[in-house]
Amino acid sequence: MKAMSNGTKVLTLADLARRCGVSPVTVSRALSGNRLVAASTRERVLATASELGYSPNLLARALAQNRSSTLGVVIHEFSNPFYSPMVSAIENAAASRDLLVVLGESQRDPLLERRYVERFRQLRAAGIIITPATRGVRHLDALSSAGIPVVVLARQWKKGDFVTVDNVTGGRLAARHILERGHRRVGVVYSDNPENTAVQERVGGFRQTLKTGGVAVPADWDIRTPRTSFEDGQLAADRLLALSRRPSALFAVTDRMAMALIHHLLQHGVRVPEDIAVVGYDDMPYAMYSEIPLTSVAIPVRQMGEVSASILFERLDRGPGRRHHVLLPPSLVVRASCP
């Protein structure tokens, strides 16, 4: 045992190995859940460690293995419920591997994002799952080249692994539903930020299907906003209310925008769906509890988190291999806002 400056004895890995009658390597593997250790041996090591109050030195382990038991996750906004099921799924998967998730919020700021990525690199994170703020991802290319597994979540990444939804198909689903309900006066509400590639894909698929159906969106009903928040939905509603002629149906590219838009329209006497039908995107957990339950394109967000973690663990176990480019299928959930 090592002695601390206050005279307290600290149990080391070697001490624990002697008490269990196995090698320090076996103890290390047992504590980390390595499957090479027999179940009976693992149980004996864990029981002895618990009895003696042994706590592994994670910093020493990280230095020895050149990676820590930390998994870095960077998302855009903590306040956006879109990410909650993904992060929950990643947390659950990481816990099964005895990994600690450290969460960072980029606020869609590429400089802040790179700062988080660099900190995770310095901490010797086992890997990183990230939703990039922009299409400029050279810092991720560098991490991948350095042997640190990276999985991009909710965006595409040609040079590496990514898990997202097929947003083009999602936009098409929204357009097809609107057209099938007989609407020909159609508008769209979306962020005009070119870095938000997911939104651009949704709008692209939406326009393609409208065009096939012989419908075009007039300039007055092509409503662009800075972002995709509740506030942007209210801004879009204000622009609609100022028009003398309004669309009979709208596609809003996020549920947050759609719900805020509906709320503001109702406050000003515009009926939904009688005057304007609304389709959202994401199918957030509370979309069904909106003032007018929201018809929405559903994204399998929890599955996105699970698959991204699975790919990362594959990289940790097997190293580099064929790139995983995963596009999960969306679906349409029909409710009262566009029945």
Q: Please, is 291 exposed, middle or buried when counting C-beta atoms within 10 Å of its C-beta (0-12, 13-18, 19+)?
A: middle
**Structural class in CATH, domain 167-300:** alpha beta
Give the pLDDT confidence of 5-40 residue by residue, as tens digits: 444 455 677 777 888 888 878 877 777 666 678 888
Which tens digit of pLDDT belongs to each residue from 169-226? 999 999 999 999 999 999 999 999 999 999 999 999 999 999 999 999 999 999 999 9
Confidence of residue 291 (pLDDT cuts 50, 70, 90): very high
319 Cβ contact list (under 8 Å, min separation 6): none
Top-tier CATH class for 65-164+301-328: alpha beta
Q: What is the pLDDT of residues 30-69, one digit of tens each?
A: 776 666 788 888 888 888 877 777 666 554 454 445 456 8
Q: Spell 38-56 as b/e; 16+ CB within 10 A means b.
A: eeebbebbbebbeeeebeb
Amino acid letter, residue 15: D
Identify residue 174 by its one-letter amino acid code. A
Q: Which residues, listed in sequence order, are joined to residue 161 by a DSSP beta bridge? A: 151
DSSP string, 241-256: HT-SS--SEEEESSHH
> What is the residue extent of each domain of the chain?
2-56, 65-164+301-328, 167-300
Share of the chain above pLDDT 70, in %: 91
Angle among Cα 233, 79, 236 to the nearest 5 degrees reads: 5
Domains 2-56 and 167-300 are alike in CATH topology = no
Q: For the domain bounded by 2-56, which CATH number is listed? A: 1.10.260.40
Q: Write out the H or E segment, with its range, that includes residue 224.
A: strand 222-225
Q: How far apart are CA 244 and CA 222, in angstroms?
A: 15
